[in-house]
């Protein structure tokens, strides 16, 4: 169950209406996971700074049961950063991504854990 959480100081009004759907599709394809299992959340309007500047910035957390390793993280970053820049206008230098390799026993959906 991949979870992509984006926290940004970008205004909610600047987020395209189809951004979440497009991002669900991207994450599902990148990780080879069923689309129905992918959750994307975006938290706009956050008070934040990267390097003390007022530029638009984002912190991205990607959690997945498996599919988180050195090679996969490079591949995911190579696709995710251009996606965020294209749709949200956030420069790659202002995006920090943290990858979390979760154990199935630590994630539940519909009251049932995945491990």
Q: Which residues are catalytic?
A: 2
Cα dihedral: 104, 107, 110, 115 (round 10): 20
Cα dihedral: 36, 76, 15, 17 (round 10): -30
Identify the CA nearest to 38 among candidates 24, 21, 17, 19.
24
């Amino acid at each position: 169950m991949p979870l992509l959480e984006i926290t940004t100081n970008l205004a909610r009004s600047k987020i395209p209406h189809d951004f979440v759907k497009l991002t669900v599709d991207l994450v599902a394809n990148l990780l080879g996971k069923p689309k129905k299992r992918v959750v994307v959340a975006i938290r706009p309007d956050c008070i934040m700074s990267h390097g003390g500047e007022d530029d638009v910035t984002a912190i991205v957390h990607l959690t997945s049961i498996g599919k988180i390793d050195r090679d996969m993280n490079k591949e995911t970053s190579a696709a995710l950063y251009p996606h965020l820049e294209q749709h949200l206008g956030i420069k790659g230098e202002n995006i920090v991504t943290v990858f979390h390799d979760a154990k199935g026993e630590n994630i539940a959906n519909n009251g049932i854990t995945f491990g």
